[in-house]
Amino acid sequence: MPASLLGCSGHSVPTFQQRKSVQCLNSLLAKQKGLQRKQQFEAASRRQQRPLHWARPCRHAARLTVCQAAAASTELSQRQPQDISVLVVGATGYIGKFVVKELIRRGYQVTAFARERSGIKGKNSKEYVIREFEGAQVQFGDITDQASLQQNGFAQPVDVVVSCMASRTGGKKDSWEIDYQATLNALEVAQQQGAKHFVLLSAVCVQKPLLQFQHAKLAFEAKLREATDITHSIVRPTAFFKSLAGQISLVKTGKPYVMFGDGTLASCKPISEADLARFMADCVQQKDKVNQVLPIGGPGRAWSARDQGQFLFELAGRKPNFIQVPVALMDGIIGFLDLLSKVFPGLEDAAEFGRIGRYYATESMLVWDDKAEKYVADATPSYGKDTLEDFFTKAVKDPDGLKGQELGDAAVF
């Protein structure tokens, strides 16, 4: 049956004649009591060959559930941090570990859910993670397995779930397994266990979805917004400082700075991991962030690739030396890999990685204005105190300035 002819839960929408008959029946039924009313209503429903329940009660029930969830969220905002239990999934990731530490600092009851081997290429042991998250309860398990998550992550009651999960590579399989399914596992178990609020780390680039990980993130965002028994905060940050650190060492040693086009095709207002963690922690209890999509960038101006390179050369005391890569060259490479992947499926992700690189070279990490059809820096909210200037200065001047900023599987240069 066409969707336009379906009501709540797929029930058939009554015809005009059926509605008139039902109105008469309702008038009669209003005068009856008890069992007689029920029997006559059932008989009328059978004659009309329609379900007993109309769409309206379904909507009322949904509204009631939403109201209950909102009330629970309001109650949450009035409690003290030490009385709120927070589960962080994706706890050992680049942003997740800062979120865990910020929540601990604020006094929440924190449970960090992690893999037994975490970090880049699984270099961190269980013992290392337990030491790093002193003040939190650390539970180990498999986020892709709901049973493991329920048994280990939700061993104790949980009020709020904070998801900092993200696929490592952005490849098709990885994106749908982590950005969608694993995050959905966390939501579904949270709902089953009666959690009140779900804070999601998403990304500002889902505004213009062209990549697999963006589609996966949006698919989960839709599931989260559809949930009526739990409130949410969807955080969409711009670029991370780490994402802009890939060429610092090259510039320091006198090598050229590589950029696409003339280096002004895209701009961003990057945010530090610490500032983003503070914003994520704000979402646990602040009422103005409930059931909201929250784009967020760092303080200061928007930076193009050329701006970044110019500033790095100044810090390093070197003459600017840029290599400009034509975007058309990348298009050719992507097209070639797409063609090969039809014969060699293993190359499918290689083509996707090319598309990811092209996207970041040509699309700004700022809020997109639909009416103006452009990215707008001034429309991108700023938060925090850590500036890109300070980050770059420390990275260039301090031998340990890039400690903790390893790109791992996300490396491009």
Whether 262 contacts 328, CB under 8 Å: no
**Residue 206 pLDDT exceeds 50:** yes
**What is the rounded CA–CA span in Å between residue 111 and residue 153?**
7
- pLDDT computed for residue 62 by the predictor: 52
- pLDDT computed for residue 346 by the predictor: 87
Three-state SS at 214: helix
Instruction: Name the H helices within 171-211.
Output: 172-175, 183-192
pLDDT in tens, 318-364: 999 999 999 999 999 999 999 999 999 889 999 999 999 999 999 99
Whether 97 contacts 135, CB under 8 Å: no
Report the amino acid identity of residue 237. P
**Residue 191 pLDDT exceeds 60:** yes
- pLDDT computed for residue 57 by the predictor: 43
**What is the rounded CA–CA span in Å between residue 47 and residue 50?**
8
Whether 331 contacts 298, CB under 8 Å: no
Specify the higher pLDDT residue, 7 or 367. Answer: 367
Count CB atoms within 10 A of the CB of residue 13: 15
Interstrand relation of 267-268 and 303-304 (parallel, antiparallel or unpaired):
antiparallel
Residue 106's pLDDT band, with cuts at 50, 70 and 90, is very high
Rg (CA), the chain: 26
Lowest-confidence region among 53-62, 105-114, 165-174, 303-312: 53-62
What mean pLDDT is predicted for residues 386-392? Answer: 97
pLDDT in tens, 249-304: 999 999 999 999 999 999 999 999 999 999 999 999 999 999 999 999 999 999 99
Tokens of 184: 């959905």
Lowest-confidence region among 62-71, 92-101, 175-184, 274-283: 62-71
- pLDDT computed for residue 365 by the predictor: 98
Q: Say how far residue 154 (Cα) sits from the centre of its chain.
A: 21
Fold annotation for 80-241+271-296 = Rossmann fold (3.40.50)
Distance separating the N- and C-terminal Cα atoms of the chain = 53
**Residue 7 pLDDT exceeds 60:** no
- pLDDT computed for residue 60 by the predictor: 53
**137 forms bridges with which residues in the sheet?**
111
Specify the higher pLDDT residue, 217 or 126. Answer: 217
- pLDDT computed for residue 46 by the predictor: 45
Whether 411 contacts 331, CB under 8 Å: no
Specify the higher pLDDT residue, 59 or 336. Answer: 336
Model confidence, pTM: 0.80
**296 forms bridges with which residues in the sheet?**
237
Residue 387's pLDDT band, with cuts at 50, 70 and 90, is very high
- Per-residue DSSP letter, 156: S
Q: Say how far residue 330 (Cα) sits from the centre of its chain.
A: 28
Whether 397 contacts 409, CB under 8 Å: no
Tokens of 255: 């090598």
**What is the rounded CA–CA span in Å between residue 92 and residue 210?**
28
Share of the chain above pLDDT 90, in %: 73
Q: What is the full DSSP assignment across 336-392?
A: HHHHHHTT-GGGHHHHHHHHHHHHHHHS-BSEEETTTTEEESTTS-B--S--HHHHH
Tokens of 183: 């995050």
Torsion of CA 327, 332, 334, 340, to 10 degrees: -170
- pLDDT computed for residue 34 by the predictor: 45
Largest CA distance in the chain: 92
**What is the rounded CA–CA span in Å between residue 397 and residue 375?**
33
Name 142's Cβ contacts closer than 8 Å, sequence gap at least 6.
Answer: 115, 148, 149
Report the amino acid identity of residue 183. T
Name 386's Cβ contacts closer than 8 Å, sequence gap at least 6.
Answer: 241, 271, 272, 274, 275, 298, 299
Name 330's Cβ contacts closer than 8 Å, sequence gap at least 6.
Answer: 260, 354, 357, 358, 361
**What is the rounded CA–CA span in Å between residue 181 and residue 175?**
9
Tokens of 69: 């969830």
